[in-house]
Structure 1
Amino acid sequence: MFATATRNFVEEVDRGRSLIPVSSLNDTISLLTVVIKKKRYWLWQKPKYLPTDFTLNDILAGGTPIQPDITESEFIKYNGTFGDNIQGNVGANFIQNNVSVEGKDTSKLQSSFGSLKKEELGMPKLIKDSKERLLDMSHCLVEQTMRNNKQVFGIVKERILTTQPCSVIEEVQKEGQFGGMLTVCGAKVTKVSLKENASLSKDSNVTMEIPPHTTLAYALIELEVKHDGHFKLCLMSTVSGGFEEVDSNGRLAPLHHSEKVDFRPVLEEFKEYFKVLSALPSQTKSSLLLQITEVIDDRTALSLLQNSLHHLCYGGVSASVEEHQQQIQDILDLVAQSGASKDAVIKALHLVLSAVDEMSNKCLALLRMCCSSALLPDLELLVQCLLGDGQLPLTAMRQTTLEEEVFDRVQCLFSSSNVFLKKDGDSLRTEVQQEAGNLPIILCIALRGLASLSQ
């Protein structure tokens, strides 16, 4: 809830620039705090940021502690309300059952942060004071971080914090009516059973009180670290930090820098993943799509699901799923029924949900509204159009997709990923906007993966 509120805040005031939202109230972040920037498995994924309990002074080798210049200024007064109201009727055809679902979901997240202030480091003094200083290469944090060439040191140079007690309020109301019978079965036990004319209702109202001087977002300056402990501050956003490495012949290897991704050849490489999902039994695909749709716009559940799939694929520490245990376990149980192809299905879903997890909150809300077996095949055609010559005849699309309300929603979905979509005479035209970054590849992977489950 707090993570969603800070992410909304950053998307509104600094989208795509330097601010990083704080994800936990347990994170204590001040100026000069050392944050580990961890590159993700897929090149197009945004990195994870892991605040530590140390400051730059803690990992310097001897000498006088750096006393930075700090300036404070008023930032903005911020009160934001985010929510959606989704209503609809869905008909789903399963192998032995037909199901009709009528639902109404209302959610609202109100963030009343009030007057915020900004603290910044004086960079000229920091550059002067850090010149010729060395990191303590025997410090446990330095040793453990440099073992992984995907991890980089960053120092907090700016933070946005509250000045008064404030609150985050979340209200959720879900209502549904189900006709027919839907049963999702495991190997031995039925996980979900919704019987004739069943109804479901869920309400929640949670208020979180946030104390003054709480950091909501921060910005980093990365470090280029030499093998002998010398370091430089990466003053430009185009310059990435990292640890200098020594190769097997004792020669110094260059520091790692970020890579740009051309999404067309990458999509070609990933087509086998989508084939794996398309080859699943019809009932399994329908059930997976239904279950995934339920968590798509729940940022916490989505991230935990993606983390669980990463753990199954590549090992590492698995996050606790606690409140969302049953939702996530139901999806993992469906995957476990894939038989000999289970490992391939896990990797394919990890790819797709890693892309979905990179989307903005607005994009996730739009994606959920587009997650129907009737609409997803048309969205797949638009992806093919984007990868091809950018032109698609209107006759290739279903008439319901071209209706004003639905098409407006699809346009907004593509636009939120920096893809231009427009009706042009008797054709549709798609075009990647300038400075689109990796958003188009994220959209294409998400839509192709979900469409594979709708076939």
Structure 2
Amino acid sequence: MFQSTTKKIVSEIDPEGSALFPVKSPLDSPKCKPLHLVIKKKKKIFSKRENYVPTPFTLTDILIDGQDIDFGLSSSIIACFSESSSTSVGAQAGVDVDCVDVGAHVSGNSSDAMSSVEMRKHTISDRTLLDVVKDRKVNREHPFVKHMKNNTVYVILEVIETEHACSVNSSAKAETGMKVLMKLLKTEADLSVSKERKLTFPAGTSIAYKVSELMISPTDTLELNWDVHFQGPDVSTSPPSSGCDQKPPPAASLAVLTNMCADKKTLFLNVILEILRHSDSLAVLDEMLDQILDGVQPDFQVLDQMEEGNRACVEKMLDLLGIEKENAPGETLALTAESEGIIRAINTLIQSFSEMDPETLILLASSVKAEIISKQLKLVTIIDDKWSGAPQYQCDPLEVKEDPEKVLITQLTDEEFEITQRVLEEFRFQLNRESASILHIMNRKQRDILALFAALYALNALM
């Protein structure tokens, strides 16, 4: 709930996504403050934006005698945000639950409400920063500096925080956050007919931050990276594309999942279904997998600050991947080619999940149970081919050939159509039942469907 909420707020106050980065986890909030240093990582597979990891270190930590510096922090109220939404569905459905007869009429509803969020912006200007530190030198012996790969320092100079405590409430009848027909549900220990979730944002919780780049000069002083400053944010002006030139990388990294034995596939699939219902675990798991692929042991202490359900998901996945808690954080890992391939595949899958709303993740879990992942994958492949901008094969007009798009949509039952429709809506596509066709919603901001393709590809490989 935390990441989806901060992303939603940032999309409202920075709709172009050109400056602000949403805070991914409440665990990162204390590290997303003015003057805190972040580490720039390689861009995520499904994102065109930069990727930063907050750290507990501040700019003053790496300066010689920097603790007494006054940076002149300015503060101002910038916005107030609130949201309320509700959805209900009803149908004649055969429910696979002992206490409900097959064919009974059932209904489900969900609602989300966010109390008014008053936000304050804390800012340090680039010019003020440089004026204050111009006579200070960087401590080359500081652990953070010694581990830097180049002379570029990434520092947070602007933060959006909550001014007062606020809360987000989510309630649903059926499965957590689900907006689908209850016919798709089965009785399991981790499912409930009714569930409510509440997330509280204490006053001073970081919602988003802005990063500036500084360069360490040959004399160990700090200078503004003017090239980046004048160039502006790295925002592509071309429309998003999920064309054939993009598809092979995630598909290639996920192919290793198809070679697993059946028992291992089942173990991974069960854990992934838990993760889909505990989306707040994604940010921590994503960061840990990045560390593992960098060849170092992740820090398990962060799990102590997580809610029980989210912590259990992370622990189960790392256990399946053979990552033991006993190793010290930062210790070098020796991964076999096979284990590294599996970890890389799971990392790609987790990154694809991180690009989606929690409601869509719940719908994917239901798609697994309804055994319609393969149909959805075929539909998404058709969408990718049709709207990728790649040249289309022109067939002989005299050749009679069934339209695979129409065939697939016609084969979907009402319940399968409902859930698939809701999955595609996040990516700005709709299914038309009457014409058995796919519609592209042109007047809404486009989302790259490559993330959905990767998620469906992986889930299909594990089924």
TM range (shorter): 0.5 to 0.7
Provide the secondary structure at the position in 2 that maps to 1:316: coil
Which residue is equivalent to 1:251?
none
Residues 152-163 of structure 1 correspond to what in structure 2 (within 5 A)?
A: 153-163=153-163
Going from structure 1 to structure 2, the CA distance change for 1:57 and 1:368 (only over 3 Å counts) comes to same
Report the Cα distance in structure 1 between the residues aligned to 2:32 and 2:283, rounded to whole angstroms.
26
Of 369, 372, 376, the residue aligned with 1:374 is 372
Which residue is equivalent to 1:413?
426
Unaligned runs of 5+ in 2: 97-104, 177-181, 235-239, 323-336, 394-402
Which residue is equivalent to 1:246?
none
Which residue is equivalent to 1:120?
123
Report the Cα distance in structure 2 between the residues aligned to 1:426 and 1:400, rounded to whole angstroms.
10
Residues 106-255 of structure 1 correspond to what in structure 2 (within 5 A)?
A: 110-130=113-133, 134-144=137-147, 146=148, 148=149, 153-169=153-169, 171=171, 201=192, 210-234=201-225, 235-236=229-230, 238=232
Q: Which has the higher contact order (CA 8 A, sep 6+)?
A: 2
2:348 pairs with 1:354: no
Unaligned runs of 5+ in 1: 93-101, 183-193, 241-259
Report the Cα distance in structure 2 between the residues aligned to 1:318 and 1:382, rounded to whole angstroms.
37
Of 30, 46, 62, the residue aligned with 1:59 is 62
2:408 pairs with 1:397: yes
Provide the secondary structure at the position in 1 that maps to 2:26: coil
Report the Cα distance in structure 2 between the residues aligned to 1:60 and 1:127, rounded to whole angstroms.
13
Report the Cα distance in structure 1 between the residues aligned to 2:220 and 2:190, rounded to whole angstroms.
63
Of 433, 442, 449, the residue aligned with 2:458 is 449
Residues 200-349 of structure 1 correspond to what in structure 2 (within 5 A)?
A: 201=192, 210-234=201-225, 235-236=229-230, 238=232, 264-281=244-261, 285=265, 288-289=268-269, 291-306=271-286, 314-319=295-300, 320=303, 322-324=308-310, 326-327=312-313, 344-349=341-346
Report the Cα distance in structure 2 between the residues aligned to 1:376 and 1:116, rounded to whole angstroms.
44
Provide the secondary structure at the position in 1 that maps to 2:192: strand
Report the Cα distance in structure 1 between the residues aligned to 2:191 and 2:233, rounded to whole angstroms.
52
Provide the secondary structure at the position in 1 that maps to 2:384: helix
Which amino acid letter does the alignment assign opposite residue 166 of structure 1? C
Provide the secondary structure at the position in 2 that maps to 1:414: coil
Going from structure 1 to structure 2, the CA distance change for 1:333 and 1:61 (only over 3 Å counts) comes to closer
Which residue is equivalent to 1:77?
80
Report the Cα distance in structure 2 between the residues aligned to 1:326 and 1:270, rounded to whole angstroms.
27
Going from structure 1 to structure 2, the CA distance change for 1:128 and 1:269 (only over 3 Å counts) comes to same
TM-score normalised to the size of structure 1?
0.65
Which amino acid letter does the alignment assign opposite residue 21 of structure 1? P
Report the Cα distance in structure 2 between the residues aligned to 1:435 and 1:132, rounded to whole angstroms.
46
Which residue is equivalent to 2:41?
39
Going from structure 1 to structure 2, the CA distance change for 1:83 and 1:126 (only over 3 Å counts) comes to farther
TM-score normalised to the size of structure 2?
0.64
Residue 39 (structure 1) shift: 0.5
Which amino acid letter does the alignment assign opposite residue 350 of structure 1? N
Contact 2:410 2:436 in 1 (8 A): no
Contact 1:110 1:170 in 2 (8 A): yes
Going from structure 1 to structure 2, the CA distance change for 1:14 and 1:396 (only over 3 Å counts) comes to same
Which amino acid letter does the alignment assign opposite residue 448 of structure 1? Y
How many equivalent residue pairs? Answer: 400
Residue 275 (structure 1) shift: 3.3
Report the Cα distance in structure 1 between the residues aligned to 2:170 and 2:438, rounded to whole angstroms.
39
Superposed CA offset, 1:380-412 (max 9, x none): 343255256468743452414496745642541
Contact 1:161 1:213 in 2 (8 A): yes
Provide the secondary structure at the position in 2 that maps to 1:52: strand
Residue 120 (structure 1) shift: 2.7
Which amino acid letter does the alignment assign opposite residue 394 of structure 1? E
Residue 307 (structure 1) shift: 5.2
Residue 352 (structure 1) shift: 1.8
Residue 225 (structure 1) shift: 3.1
Contact 2:384 2:449 in 1 (8 A): no
Residue 317 (structure 1) shift: 0.8
